[in-house]
Amino acid sequence: MKIGPALPPLSTLVSVLCLAAATSLLGGCGSEQAADERNNAVDYSARPLPAKLSAQADEARESIGAAPMFKAKPRIGVMPVQYQSPELAGDRYAKAESSRVHSVAEAPLTTFSIDVDTASYANVRRFVVNGRLPPKGAVRAEEFINYFTYGFSQSAKASAASPFKLSYEVAKSPWNSDRQLLMLALDSSAVELVHKPSNLVFLLDVSGSMNSPDRLPLVRRSLKMLLTQLDDQDRVAIVVYAGAAGVVLEPTRANERATIVGALEQLSAGGSTNGGEGLRQAYRLAQQAFIEGGNNRVILATDGDFNVGVSGTDELRELVQRQAKQGVELTVLGFGRGNYNDQMMEQISNWGNGNAAYIDTLLEARKVLVEQLGATLQTVASDVKIQLEFNPQQVTEYRLIGYQNRMLANEDFNNDKVDAGEIGAGHTVTAIYELTLTGAKQPWLPALHYAKGEAESSQASATEYGLMKLRYKLPGQSQSRLVSFPLRVQTETVGSVDFNFAAAVAAYAERLCCDKYLGDFAYAAIEQLAQQGRGDDIAGYRAEFIRLVQQTALIEGVED
């Protein structure tokens, strides 16, 4: 008589029990196990590095100072097609956009706000070093280009005295022999860097998501580097935010380093993220210790979004813009991944007349907070706008590489009420246009049936590609100044070392995101061009870029 179903063989029971135990161990059931699982999760939403290349990936990570890559635990079962790993599922990026081609006959003017942020490059580097291709929305070509500094072969003569020098260069496009690249570098290094006393408020995210080595511990070490650059004229305060916000350190002289470091060391991560209230408290402290004529700034260090409290975009913008008008600017430092709101970080730094950087290693912290401290903290010009008028006798078509979210209406150029970007001491802002010159065999756009007549000839127009106009405000001033630079036609067609490297960086960004104009210009060609533009490279940043191009090619499975 059967009382129930027949028992399976003992060996089968053992296998089932082993499988259940393994599944439980791998999935995790407690908070510590869940955290460990998140740290070691595999990103199934991006193309993984092939197993045979893992050794090369580790070597590349070590060569640029990155932490060793976590080894993912094996998983049981098939993941859904739309699965996103916990370490990346919360990251948010704006929609990727490709640049547009314009006809000089129809639109001879192009106007945009400058951008000196570099967060996109460092963030994308983090993806590549970890063996993944970045989301397309993470790539902003102008931030790749502006991560490096250049000096091009031609100097433009300014129409009036200004704190800027402009160098430029025009040479054949490496990926299209029927096009030219126009490169413009606006340099503020001629501005005498006078140390201004700083009133800095560190606004630190200590929410639970910051509890990993590349977040709060890296924040502490980065800010300790910054402290070494300050003196007894400077003041430092610390505000933290998680489920609630609070003051950890009232404004303190920067030479009281033990006190400040002690406050940093006592911080621990936990709770949700009340970023809005944290911002309010940070601004209150900054206004409390405000230094007239000094550098008054909130430095926000976070891995992501404001998910509790005042987080509506309009309310945040009003708060940050009002404080910027009152003289307290905002710098944003991004850390970590999994909750990183890239679009929000870029926006609030723009509203706060500041800049945005992404810190993925101590080397990057040193670059941003030590080597480029003046550029990061001291503004020399605000609301900086650039407008180019192309000469139809020389140029028929153009496109601006990057700056898609910094474009302005042409009428905004002369409107001092329209906000634009800031330039810090020692910053170089670079923009690259791809041009179709008159007589090109294959223009991008079809010829117009009812084309406008030829522009009146003049000696000036025959020898100029166009005219670049610059508007800017000096610190504390509300009325802008205007200076213009004629761009003379060059006879040299071979690009300089800096030209080659800048072209390689632009091509790399476009290849990662929206390579509709690159044709078959692959990573091998980008690497070769970057090698030609490596130059002296004292700091090693160009060599690091070349290794990133090589690593990206490996991830894509491209054989050089």
pLDDT in tens, 190-220: 777 677 899 999 999 998 888 888 899 999 9
Reading across the β-sheet that carries 395-400, which strands appear in turn?
Answer: 102-103, 395-400, 428-437, 176-187, 165-173, 154-155
Whether 67 contacts 214, CB under 8 Å = yes
pLDDT in tens, 149-186: 999 999 999 998 888 999 999 999 999 999 999 999 99
| Residue that is written with structure tokens 């800027």 in the block | 164
| Residue that is written with structure tokens 């670059």 in the block | 367
* pLDDT score of 442: 85
pLDDT in tens, 386-440: 999 999 999 999 999 999 999 999 999 999 999 999 998 888 999 999 999 998 8
Q: CATH number of the domain at 198-377, please?
A: 3.40.50.410
Structure tokens at 353: 């007349």
**Beta-bridge mates of residue 431:** 184
Q: What SS3 state is found at 59?
A: helix
Contacts of 93 (CB under 8 A, 6+ apart): 135, 137, 138, 342, 343
CATH class of the domain whose range is 102-192+380-439+460-556:
mainly beta
Please state the pTM of the whole predicted model.
Answer: 0.81
The residue extents of the domains of the chain are: 102-192+380-439+460-556, 198-377
| Residue that is written with structure tokens 């260090």 in the block | 301
User: Torsions phi, psi of 32, nearest 5?
Assistant: -65, -40
Query: Does 69 score more than 70 pLDDT?
Result: no
For residues 558 and 540, give the distance between their C-alpha atoms in angstroms, rounded to a whole number. Answer: 25
